[in-house]
Amino acid sequence: MPLSPVPAGSSTRAAPAPRLLFVDLLRGLAAQVIVLHHIALYGPLSDTAYALAPGTIDFFFGYGRFAVQVFFVVGGFLAAQSLAKAGPIGPRALLGVAVRRYRRIGFPYLASLVVAIAANNVADRFMDHSSISGPPDLTSVLAHVFLLQSILGIPAITAGIWYIAVEFQLLVLVFALTGLAQALVRAPLLRFRVQADSLAHALFGALALSALFWFNRDKTLDMWAIYFFGSYFLGMLLYRVVQQGKSAWQLGVYLLLMCAAVAVDYRPRLLLAAAVGALVYGAAKLGVLDRWPNNAIVAYCNRTSYSLFLIHFPVCLVVNALVWHRDLSPVAAVFGMAAAFGASHVAAFLFHRYVEVPCMRDSRPDLPLPLPVVAAAAAPVDSAARRS
C-alpha cells in the first residue's frame, strides 16, 4: 500500500500533488513495522530468538499487523485526492480507473509472485517449516493474478498480499459510489436537490458507519473492502478537511464515533487508525504536514515502501532457510533476523529500481509480466504441499 504502501489511482493525468512529508513518515514507519511483524511471525529464527527477546518478539508478533491501518487511512486520503480530480464517472470511466490501478500496482505485484514462488522452492530445499508454501497450481496462480485468492479461500503464495486485493477493492468502490451519486442527481426525482459530491459523501459516511459498528466486527469479512472502510473513510475525511478546507466538525464527530465503536467492541486497530487521523490533522494545524520531516531517509523509505512490502517476505524466508539450523543459538538467531531485515531493504532497493519504476514508466496493457507467473504454475504440483 506504497500505502497505502500503494499510491491511490487516478482517473486523470494531472500533475502530481506536492509531497506531504509527515504522511510519508507515517507510511515509511508503518512499512518497517510490517516487515518486523512478518519476521517475528514467520520462520524458525524468531522461534529460536524468542528466549532472548520474548517481549519484543511478542509485541511485533501480536501488534505489528495493526500498522496496516496507517496504509488504509493514507489510502483513503489519496483516493479522495484522486476523486477531486476526476470528471464524470460512468461505467467506461470506472473500468478505466480499475485498469489503470491494476497496471500501476498489479505488474510489480505479479513480478513479486514470481520471486515468492522461487523463494519458497529454495527454502523448501533447506528447511521444513509451515511458513513455506508449496508449488501453486494453475487455479492458485489465476486466483492471485485476479486478486481473488482470499475470496476463494486459496492459500496465499506470499505474506501480506491480501492488502493489495482489498486496497484495489476500496479504490474501485469509492469511484463506483461516486459514479452512482452522479447518476442519481441526474434522475428526475433528485435533480436540483442535492449535489453529486454531497450525495457521494453521504453514501461514504453511511457505509463507514456500517463498517465500524457491524462489518468490521465480523472477521470472516476481512477479505472484503467493507471490513476496512471505516479506516479508509477517515482518510477521505482528512483530505476534505486538510486539503479542501472543509469544516473539521465532521472529522471530530467521526473520530468520536470510532471511539464509540471501540467501546461497543474493543478493536485496537480502530484506535490506531483514529490516532493516525488525529496526528495528520494536528500536523496540518501546526503547518508541518508538507514541511516536516524533510529528510532523505524518510523520503527513501516512503519511495521504496511498496517494493519493500512486496519483496520482504520471500527474502526473509530464504534468509531463514540459509541461516537457521537446530543448534543455532538465540543470539545468532537475532543476528539472523537482523540480516533478514537488512536483506529485505537491499532487495527492495533493487526491486524498486528495476521492476517498480519501469512499470510506472511503461504500464501498457500488453506488458507481459503475467506470463512468468502462469509459466511458473506449469511446474509439477505437490499434492501434499505446505501452505502458509
Measured CA to CA, the distance from residue 359 to residue 370 in angstroms comes to 13
- Average per-residue pLDDT for the chain: 87
Angle at 234 between CA 239 and CA 225, to 5 degrees: 115
Place of cell 529464527: 45
* Residue 388 resides in a domain: no
Residue 362's pLDDT band (cuts 50, 70, 90): low
Q: Are 46 and 324 in contact (CB under 8 A)?
A: no
Measured CA to CA, the distance from residue 226 to residue 76 in angstroms comes to 13
Residue 17's pLDDT band (cuts 50, 70, 90): low
The conformational region for residue 106 under phi > 0 = left, psi -120 to 50 = alpha, else beta, is alpha
* Residue 387 resides in a domain: no
Q: Which segment of 56-60, 135-139, 243-247, 313-317 scores lowest on mean pLDDT?
A: 243-247
* Residue 371 resides in a domain: yes
Task: Compute the average pLDDT of residues 300-323.
Answer: 95
* Per-residue pLDDT at 61: 94
Measured CA to CA, the distance from residue 368 to residue 370 in angstroms comes to 6
Angle at 148 between CA 147 and CA 150, to 5 degrees: 110
Measured CA to CA, the distance from residue 123 to residue 129 in angstroms comes to 9
Res 10 pLDDT > 90: no
For 326, the grid coordinates are: 537446530
Res 386 pLDDT > 50: no
Residue span of the structural domain in which 55 resides: 21-376
Give the C-alpha distances (Å, rounded to integers) separating 297 from 2, 17, 58, 235, 349: 16, 21, 28, 25, 13
**Total tally of structural domains belonging to the chain:** 1
Burial class, 365, CB count within 10 angstroms (exposed 0-12 / middle 13-18 / buried 19+): exposed
- Residue-wise pLDDT for 350-360, tens only, equals 999 999 998 87
Measured CA to CA, the distance from residue 284 to residue 239 in angstroms comes to 11
- Residue-wise pLDDT for 149-180, tens only, equals 999 999 999 999 999 999 999 999 999 999 99
* Per-residue pLDDT at 192: 53
Res 6 pLDDT > 80: no
% of residues, the chain, pLDDT over 70: 87
Res 96 pLDDT > 80: yes
For 96, the grid coordinates are: 478505466
* Per-residue pLDDT at 25: 94
Res 374 pLDDT > 70: no
Residue 368's pLDDT band (cuts 50, 70, 90): very low
* Per-residue pLDDT at 325: 85
* Per-residue pLDDT at 359: 82
Residue 191's pLDDT band (cuts 50, 70, 90): low
Name the strand (E) or helix (H) holding 198: helix 196-213
At CB < 8 A and 24+ separation, what contacts does 11-20 make? 11/82, 11/85, 11/86, 11/87, 11/89, 11/93, 11/96, 11/97, 11/100, 11/175, 12/82, 12/85, 12/86, 12/87, 14/85, 17/81, 18/290, 19/290, 19/299, 20/289, 20/290
* Residue 42 resides in a domain: yes
Residue 2's pLDDT band (cuts 50, 70, 90): very low
Instruction: Write the DSSP symbol of residue 215.
Output: G
Instruction: Write the DSSP symbol of residue 267.
Output: -
Res 382 pLDDT > 60: no
* Residue 5 resides in a domain: no
Task: Compute the average pLDDT of residues 246-253.
Answer: 92
Q: Which segment of 39-43, 109-113, 316-320 scores lowest on mean pLDDT?
A: 39-43
Measured CA to CA, the distance from residue 101 to residue 105 in angstroms comes to 6
Res 224 pLDDT > 50: yes
* Residue 277 resides in a domain: yes
* Residue 138 resides in a domain: yes
Q: Can you give the length of the chain in residues?
A: 388
Residue 388's pLDDT band (cuts 50, 70, 90): very low
Measured CA to CA, the distance from residue 307 to residue 101 in angstroms comes to 16
* Residue 16 resides in a domain: no
pTM of the complete model: 0.87
State yes or no: cis peptide before 293, omega within 30 of 0.
Answer: yes
- Residue-wise pLDDT for 253-288, tens only, equals 999 999 999 999 999 999 999 999 999 999 999 999
Residue with the larger pLDDT of the pair 193 and 191 = 193
